[in-house]
């Protein structure tokens, strides 16, 4: 994103103001595309199970290459909103999940939305990712979905570096997000940007991370951006 037209403070404050006005519902979290939630979750689950599954050819291949199986102790849901991903993807697979989001109303809603499963939430962190410092060595999975566009290039690189330090042995950072066809596309409505895949790759490299596996989410509506999922270590 080389340069944001507006200054950094405004970039973040405008996004914070935007999300304050969004209803704390699944449809609100997905920008009116609540109908894609199950497709999204199923795609993410299949992606994660490549690393968590015991009887899995991809995991076997990783072991041959000196990679260990990712644990299922604790996950972090970044830009968690009301906990849609925590409820349907992470809590069924991990013993404990932490949530981080910039909007306090969403985290308040998450406590009731998650129901009985909220007993297995470790922490609710109300913080922008540009300022969030995850606990060193705590997480097996750090899931970052539909939120990197709210970070400047520098802050994204720095956040990924902090995330790397927060991983357990054989832990993974997963980015799942929209990608543009070319360059950086700003969205003035929610004060975010959409980067193309080459730029995302470059920023991941700048953070000192490597892409372990990558795939495109299938069966989303044709009118929305392509969505790619990247597993990083």
- The position carrying tokens 């097996």 is 140
Q: According to the annotation, is 202 in a ligand binding site?
A: no
| Whole-number Å distance between alpha carbons of 17 and 211 | 33
Q: According to the annotation, is 30 in a ligand binding site?
A: no
Cβ(87)–Cβ(80) below 8 Å: no
Q: According to the annotation, is 86 in a ligand binding site?
A: no
Exposed, middle or buried by CB within 10 Å (0-12, 13-18, 19+), for 116?
A: exposed
Q: According to the annotation, is 53 in a ligand binding site?
A: no
Q: According to the annotation, is 129 in a ligand binding site?
A: yes
Q: According to the annotation, is 102 in a ligand binding site?
A: yes
Q: According to the annotation, is 84 in a ligand binding site?
A: yes
DSSP designation for 117: G
- HEC per residue, 1-39: CCCCCCCHHHHHHHHHHHHHCCCCCHHHHCCCCHHHHHH
| Whole-number Å distance between alpha carbons of 37 and 82 | 13
Enumerate the known binding-site residues. Answer: 79, 84, 101-103, 129-130, 145
Residues in the annotated binding site for S-adenosyl-L-methionine:
79, 84, 101-103, 129-130, 145
């Amino acid at each position: 994103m080389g340069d944001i037209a507006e200054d950094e403070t405004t970039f973040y404050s405008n996004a914070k103001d935007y999300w304050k006005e969004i209803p704390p519902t699944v449809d609100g979290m997905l920008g009116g595309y609540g109908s894609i939630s199950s497709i999204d979750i199923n795609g993410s689950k299949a992606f994660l199970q490549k690393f968590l599954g015991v009887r899995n050819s991809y995991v076997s291949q990783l072991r041959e290459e000196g990679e260990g199986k990712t644990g299922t102790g604790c996950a972090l849901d970044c830009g968690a909103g009301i906990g849609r991903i925590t409820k349907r993807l992470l809590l069924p697979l991990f013993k404990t999940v932490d949530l981080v989001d910039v909007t306090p109303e969403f985290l308040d809603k998450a406590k009731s939305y998650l129901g009985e499963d909220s007993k297995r939430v470790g922490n609710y962190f109300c913080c922008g990712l540009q300022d969030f410092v995850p606990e060193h060595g705590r997480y097996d999975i750090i899931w970052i979905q539909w939120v990197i566009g709210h970070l400047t290039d520098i802050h994204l690189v720095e956040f990924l570096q902090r995330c790397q330090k927060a991983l357990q042995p054989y832990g993974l950072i997963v980015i799942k997000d929209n990608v543009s066809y070319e360059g950086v596309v700003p969205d003035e409505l929610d004060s975010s940007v959409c980067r193309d895949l080459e730029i995302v790759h470059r920023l991941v490299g700048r953070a000192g991370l490597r892409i372990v596996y990558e795939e495109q989410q299938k069966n989303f509506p044709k009118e929305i951006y392509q969505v790619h999922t990247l597993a990083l270590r």
